[in-house]
Structure 1
Amino acid sequence: MSLGHQLKLRTQWWLILVAASVMVVVLTMDHTMLRLDNAVYDRLLQLGAASPGQSVLLVEIDDESIARIGRWPWNRAIHAALIDRIKAGQPRAIAYDVLFTEPGDPVTDAALGASIAAAGPIFLPMLPPMPTPAGAAAAPVLPIEPVREAATGIGYATIDPDPDGVVRSAQVGAGPGGQAQHLMALTARAALGQQDHPSSMPVGARLIPFGAAGRHWSEVSAAAVLAGQVPPELLRDRVVLVGATATGLGSRYPTPTGRVMSGLEIEANLLQALMGHSLIRPASLPARLALGLLPLVVLMIGLGPWRRAPALVVFLVCAATVIAVTALCLLASGLWLWLPPGAALAGLAVAYPLWGWRQLAVIEQFMRAQLLRLEQEPSLLPRVSLRGSAKRGVAGTIALLHAAIARNREMRHFAADRLDQLPDATVVADLAGRIVLANAAAHRLFAGFGLAIEPGATRAQDLLAAVRLVGSGNPVPFPLYADEPATHEVQRDQAHFYLVGIAPQTQADGQRAGWIMRLVDISEAKAAQRQRDDVVQLLTHDMRSPQASILAVLETASPDRIAPVEASAIRHYAERTLRLADGFVQLARAEYLEYTLEEVDLGDMLIDAIDDLWPQSHAKRIEIVTHGDEQMLVLGERSLLTRALVNVIGNAIKYSPDGTRITCTLTREVRADGITWGLCAIADQGCGMDADLRSRMFERFARGPVGLGPKTSGAGLGLSFVHTVMVRHHGVIGCETEPGQGTTFTLALPIKG
């Protein structure tokens, strides 16, 4: 991706992080996510363990009690008797959740007050203040005086459901009176022996830990207590909670446990939590902000431009961490802290798709720009141009991508077809050496070796193991550690030889991408080389030796044994055979010898050639003159270049009349490519050549001229040798001639430096 796109992506990353953080802060401070928070709270609370409330006993004014004792409201003497029965069981404290706010019969009111006074720690409810039309503060409605003065304490017993109607919390702190507390808080403090330490109870709203499906309480009917049917042991050392649960009397509320509970059961859960110090505290604002912002920052770092993990995994891990921290704080013993996860989950849910969308948008822009550049590049294959309307938007990008894929597929097909058309075995390997492409010739070649090429599975090392380097027998080195191509001569057996060429592939940015390997069958060439070597051996030794023996016999034989005419003929043919063999050997050396190049002076070699031919030129009274004695250094094989000059000058002597002149001129010439050449021009005054002979003068066994000059003998290999030597020295030989006008041969070689 380009630097501009990367900068744009990072800028948008910061913008999304800041915007999502602001959203999380706002959602944390208001109640927008309350419904989600409540749903999570209810579900987690149901996962908690349900424990029986052994320290609390419910005395219910239930339908059975109404049926046995009579219609509600009961006479206060019945309440006094019920309190006396409970007191006889020696409970730790009594919470009598029945309102006595209106005066009745003074005698029964006094009797009730006496029973309450004798009951020990007993707590009664009061009504909260009713709002006035003018909005002025009102006082709470307290129990009647005899009851109020006899009670240990008076508190609120109201139950306030949440906006969705579910009871989750209770206000246990100070009420409008400044000192008034919840009835259950007063009862719990008395049961724990903390009447004089009101600060030991929590202040403010607290969540009630209902547990899974609520606790299972010990319950008895008020009628059974009045009838003496409840043993005192059941009441001893328990906190007794008395309240109405009969149909039409007691209120019922939905709870987070998933079931509806009576008000008395809800108060029992609150009382048990107060006694066990297990009320759930709402987390502070800093803690809620930390829960919302930290996972968001982690998510954005994980999703950012430098991410290394899959985006979905990072999102799920962050969301699971939020839920896990919330569950741990809520359910772990001793913590009992409620951290609402709604704002944190909302931040994650917004940031994840938003960042994904922006990433895709930037990537789409980058990919579109690259695809348009690719579309504008010249193609080796014909293609259909996209319409202008098809190049807009995501649909246009998809169309460009489809065209690029099709183009790549066609190029691969084109490359594979062209590779198959190559006559030599060619394979393409990746950096690891695995074969990616192989042409038909490669499949045929290695099938003959018993190896099957499977692209993507076969390795180049396995294929090269089928051959060995000629001479050493070592394996072919692979891969290459240099950037230059390498060529090796290898053999499969004594009859099959190959040239292996290995070249590195590079990408457009210069990075190495793999290897191209080609195997050329040179078995026939090697066989021809062996035959040529045999012929050269034959000519250099096997043919020359008998001819030399013939000449030796002619030299040593008595004149009377061989007639002079026959001896002359035999000598002529033997010498001609030797010249033919020598010319052929020299030509073979010129064509196939590995040259040892050195700096040599062209003028020195010319003088050496003239000196070697002095007997022939002197015999025909031919003068050889030279012009230009400036030193001209060339790179060459001295013996072969000298031999080439000997052949040219020798031909000039051979085809020139007696008493003529041969001129050898050395000059320099700077050509259009800036290279300086050394020229040696050898001009004679002989018979010249016609156009037909000039066109084939460098062919083997070309003889001439015929009919224009003196009759000469030769093998016809001299100029072929000269031409071969010049070509292998990267030089040029030229000829200017006309019949009867003489001939000029010019030998040109590049001057070193």
Structure 2
Amino acid sequence: MRNIRLFWQIFPVCLGITLVSMLAVVWLASTTGRAFYLERLKEEIRERALLIEPTVAALSGGDDRLFHDFVRQTGRRAATRITVIDGNGAVLADSNEDHTLMDNHARRPEVEPALAGEIGYALRRSRTLGEGMLYAAIPVKIGADRHRGALRLALAVTPVEDMLALLHKKMAGIALAVAGLAGLLSLYSARRISRPLEEMKRGAEQLTTGRIDQLVKIDGGRMSAEMAGLAASLNQMAEQINRRIRIIIQQRNELEAVFSSMADSVVAIDADRKIIRMNQAAAALFGLPADAVKGKAVEGVIRNAYLLETIEMTLAHNLPQEQKVTLFNGADPVMLQVHAVPLRDEDNRSMGVLLVMNDLTKLNRLETVRQDFVANVSHELKTPITTIKGYVETLLDGALGDADHARRFLAIVNRQANRLDAIVDDLLTLSRIEDRENKEEIALESGEVGPVLESALQTCAVLADEKNIVLQMECDEGLKAAMSQPLLEQAMINLLKNAIAYSPRGSVVTLRCRDTITLEGERQIHLAVADNGPGIAREHLPRLFERFYRCDKARSRDQGGTGLGLAIVKHIAHLHRGAVEVESILGKGSTFTLILPMANRS
């Protein structure tokens, strides 16, 4: 059933009651007035008939001319139509018409009672006069034989009806005025009653929609006591709800912030196996938008059989589940530590599953790097230590007596000790650089690159002369970069030493410094070291800057390298917000390029 507003329940009813009452009053007044006037006319016409009845009776048995003159003159003087009718209904005389031309009146409703000895009345429209008439007939003795006849008098009721019509119009006007006034009063009363309720409704609707910023404050000053009490209760309820909603919103925002910022992937699933929520980490893990998966079946979002099995087990047994699962994000495996715990309501009833997935991929990769690093360090340290130990044992076993062998063995021990010292120095250097990189403590100052490159060339000049290698520098003037001069010089020395070590005797190593512009319009400085060495195979290029990685381990150790020089260069490049690249062709040489952001020229 359709609900109707309170205003339309009050206003039409009040207005309808007023209109019905006025109509009843008008109808009662009209009918009562008409009946009153007709009764007065009946009494008046009856009295007139009784007044002239003796004269009519006396004259009817005598001279006809005198009889007709009396009827005609009396009727005109009294403004009343007088008709004398004999017992057969024939008209003997009439004050207005020729009686000889008139119809028989025996069947007239007012005449029949009079011929029967009673007084008769009738109200009808006269065909002769063309207007409404009130007829009254009384019995009368007429003629010489005194037989019974009827004396009928008629009065026009048109003036009475005109007066009643005028009275009806006045009463209708008064009724309309009263109805209009009653309608305005009903409208005012209905509005006064319904408006506070509408304000209360708006306030309740704002509460239901969560609009707590603009709550409707209901003023109960012009209301009835009952309405004012209800308004005060609603205001108090709105304030309490507002306070509780703000607390809930604050708690929800806090939970939302925690949920969204969690590094672990979290998925909430209801008892019908539909997704309730998914945080950003989980959305990124599955490659889906977090908001688009709400309400969807978990089978359509999570396609891993082990994860689905974990969810089913948790729902079936209502117990926490834990296992390791491997997903594939493209071609890369993702190792997950999965925890599935039941979701419970306030009555401790199961309502779903909370799936928490810890990404162990980075930890496994770091563990692998750590194991590789320990293995590499152990291997790199063990080789010179084993060599030193072997030659020392040989010397202790009696080789000290042979001066030539002792000198040669001690030279080897010294060389291996220097190698150990170089490895330890590089490890300490790499550790310090990584520590400063993580803590962002490096201070970069704008300066010219040319003097740093010249200093690096001078440092490596002695090593190059030993192999008769020519060092060349091609550098644009005035190039500036935000840099740490000692670290940048060390990076260039490492690249130059690497190029000298792998270049053949009598070759050329070139150091170039160029100003370049990227596709995005950023200006950069490219510091490139090119050699004419044996080159590097393509499969080794991606791992070339890893610690202790060697393309040809035997040859690299023969060159005396520690395996940490390029790793140090990579970290120094990162400290300078730059990068390092390598290009190499087997048999034709290699080019290592350190890329730095350019500082503004002075």
Q: Where on the TM-score scale, by shorter chain, does this alignment land: which range?
A: 0.3 to 0.5
Query: Greater share of helix residues, 1 or 2?
Result: 2
Of the two structures, which has the highest relative contact order with CA contacts closer than 8 Å and spacing of 6 or more? 1
TM-score (norm 2): 0.40
